[in-house]
Chains A and B, each alone.
Chain A
Amino acid sequence: MIGLIAGITTVLGDVLTADAMYESAMRFAIVLAFAAVGEWVAEKAGTLNISIEAMMIGGAYTAAVTWGAVDVVPIALLAGVLAGVVVALAQAHLSHQLTIDQFVVGLTLNLFVLGLALFLDSKWEAVTSVVKPTEVPLLNDIPLVGQALFGQPWPMYLIALVVPIAWWLVFRTRWGLEVRSVGDNPQSADVSGIHVNRRRREAIMVAGACAGLGGGVLVLGQISIAGYESGHVGLKGIIAIAAVIFGGWTLRGTLMGCLLFGYFFALQQTLPSLGHRINAQLSASLPYLVALVVTAVFATRTRQPRALAQPFVRGLT
């Protein structure tokens, strides 16, 4: 027992003092954050959008293929955004115009995009090389967090734009006010002249753009990834949803959730290189286990948008 505790303490000590750990965790957290911010906007409007996974996959594959074709990172990222928006268009119109159950649409889209990317990848294999880290001089020499915060590939820093824009959109524009109202009380919003399903569709588009960008950053910015592979996204979209739940539908909390889950993804990648042996299956499922436990702890505590996951059809109460 004492040996076990001592073992855990040394592992923890190594993990907490390794620069690589912070760097890797930050990378995973940022990728998750793109998707999570998008999902947060969609959930604010009342959609529990599980096709965020499909949007990430679409973004990742398209960005990788575009990079292989034109070799320009911004264009590749833009292509990723576009792919995310295309998936979002499908989700939005099927679930908030034809009023098909949003989970049914989301699940089908997830399987569709996963299969499509797998099939296309067998024809046009997407090979990428990693964008070189941009190192901010001096600041990246800060011990522990220097590399994590100031030594990332440049697409990672786009998160510093996306988060404030999303915040401003939701809390400081008329559109955002309407989005929040259709997420909380669609009937009242409808009566006051807001087009409920249109706002919800638009919020899903925002989610698609963010998640597509996240997918692009995932394939272009991650070390040790060369091209698109089927398992890369591997339910990271669902983890992003868990991050929104963890954050209690606040933007700040959502980002904290991304950091938390990013940390556990990083554990899986970094522990072996630190010389610790950990059961492969356990470390692979750790982020998902943590996500499950964390949502169980936090799901009740916080106020979710009241009409979350409820379809709106005029005349139904």
Chain B
Amino acid sequence: MTTPEPVDAGVGTTTPAGHRTAKLVGLYLVAVAIALSASAGLIAITGGPWRKVFTALIDGSVRNPGRWGDTLAEAAPLLIVALGAIIATRAGLVNIGQEGQLAVGAAAAAYVATNGSGPLVLVGALLAGIAGGAVWAGIAALFKYWRKVPEVISTLLLVFIASQGTGYLLTRTFLLLDDDPNKPNRVQTSAQVDAATRVGKIHMFGNEFPWTVPAALALAIVVTVMLSRSIWGFRLTVLGRNARTAQRIGVPVVIAGASALAMSGAFAGLAGVSMLAAGSANYRYTPGFANNVGWEGLLVALVARNRPLACIPVALVFAMLRTGSGFLAATGVERSIVDVVRSLLVLALLVPPAVSAIQRRRAVPPPAPVSTDEPIVTVAR
């Protein structure tokens, strides 16, 4: 078809683009206000002091000494997971199993890291973690392209299998279980990662945070550039928009899709390694090591609407909720309120762009069919 697409959706509408942006910002503000007041209402209904809850969250995440360093440290793995999620989404795939991929990556890294010491082992652990996450997502990719299993289902099922499987690794000393009889508590954990194998810390203004933070930021920039400026990124975008078109223009659909899924798993695995080597759970692999970072990283990507750089502030906010929740005990409100606040925020933030898109669709009259007297392709007679 030769019908020209409208160049800019804003052209020919009664609302100018600037007006629409202001409206969108307004919608966002209203949505966040609704989410926060709904959370406050929920706390009030259950008899909690909602004002204190919000101040405790701020205190625990930035205001108290040494806290914003912790928040930054929490934000790094969230950001890395989110970047991986974006890669899969860009290719039109829905990877929602980051929680499991992160656990597998971290467990694989822990196996390498606890069997040696030194910077080389750290590199090995890094590779093992990346491979672990990639393999776990690769299973879903294999099932998708070989047997047409929706990756939504398989990645979710693999989360549960990962948590049980890595739990098994912690029951055998030849796998991951710490065989030190003097270990601090009875919980089954792996041995501690040796001091020489850990990621260094940056000290700044009385706060400290690991080197994974600048690394994650750099990764965000790399992913942005790769997605928007490379052939690989272009292929993924076409694949995500329309698989058939992608095939016609020569994108190897299966390879590109499967590798995007595996790569998003690799990012989750990388996030797992970064948590392990930066001191999450005291440099040990423990049951429940992933601790919802996979889920939350995925939510970061959703809220950021799959733009890598937008993930940075969102990851920070989510990390604030994580570190702030540690200060909730004093208010007598359960920590799990943070889960509610977070998912309410996510739900609220999904709505404004959708509403805006619908308004835009309704505002633009359908393009009139181009009337050409002559056929554009003249057929030889």
Contact = CB atoms under 8 A, between A and B. Distances in A.
A285 B347 contact: no
A276 to B, nearest CB: 18
A303 to B, nearest CB: 12
Contacts of A279: 168
Contact of A98 (B158, B160, B344, B355): B355
B375 to A, nearest CB: 23
Contacts of B339: 111-112, 114-116, 118-119
A282 interface: yes
B229 interface: no
B28 interface: no
B226 interface: no
Interface in A105-120: 105, 107-109, 111-112, 114-116, 118-120
A119 B164 contact: no
B334 A99 contact: no
B157 A292 contact: yes
B147 A297 contact: yes
A238 B153 contact: yes
Interface string A116-158: 1011101110000000000000000000000000000000000
Nearest to B158: A292
A167 interface: no
B29 interface: no
Contact of B164 (A284, A292, A296, A315): A284
Chain A at the B interface: SS class: helix
A281 B150 contact: no
B103 to A, nearest CB: 13
A281 B164 contact: yes
B295 A111 contact: yes
Given A112-B343, A288-B161, A296-B149, A99 B47 contact: no
Given A98-B351, A291-B157, A285 B165 contact: yes
A258 to B, nearest CB: 16
B346 interface: yes
B213 interface: no
B224 interface: no
Given A281-B171, A299-B147, A111 B152 contact: no
Given A288-B157, A292-B158, A282 B299 contact: no
In which size bucket is the chain A interface? 35 or more
B297 to A, nearest CB: 12
Most chain B beta-carbon neighbours within 10 Å: one of A101, A108, A118, A284: A108
B366 to A, nearest CB: 7
Interface in A278-306: 279, 281-282, 284-285, 288-289, 291-292, 295-297, 299-300
B148 A123 contact: no
Contact of B147 (A124, A238, A300, A309): A300
Contact of B152 (A48, A234, A289, A297): A48
Nearest to A244: B153
B232 interface: no
A175 interface: no
B167 interface: yes
A281 B334 contact: no
B238 interface: no
Contacts of B358: 98-99
Contacts of B342: 111, 115
B347 A103 contact: no
Which 5 A-B pairs have CB atoms at the shortest separation, nearest pair first? A115-B339, A112-B343, A285-B164, A98-B354, A281-B168
11 contacts: A94-B351, A101-B94, A103-B96, A105-B350, A120-B46, A124-B46, A238-B157, A242-B153, A288-B160, A292-B149, A315-B366
Interface of A: 48, 50, 90, 94, 98-101, 103-105, 107-109, 111-112, 114-116, 118-120, 122-124, 234-235, 238, 241-242, 245, 279, 281-282, 284-285, 288-289, 291-292, 295-297, 299-300, 309, 313, 315
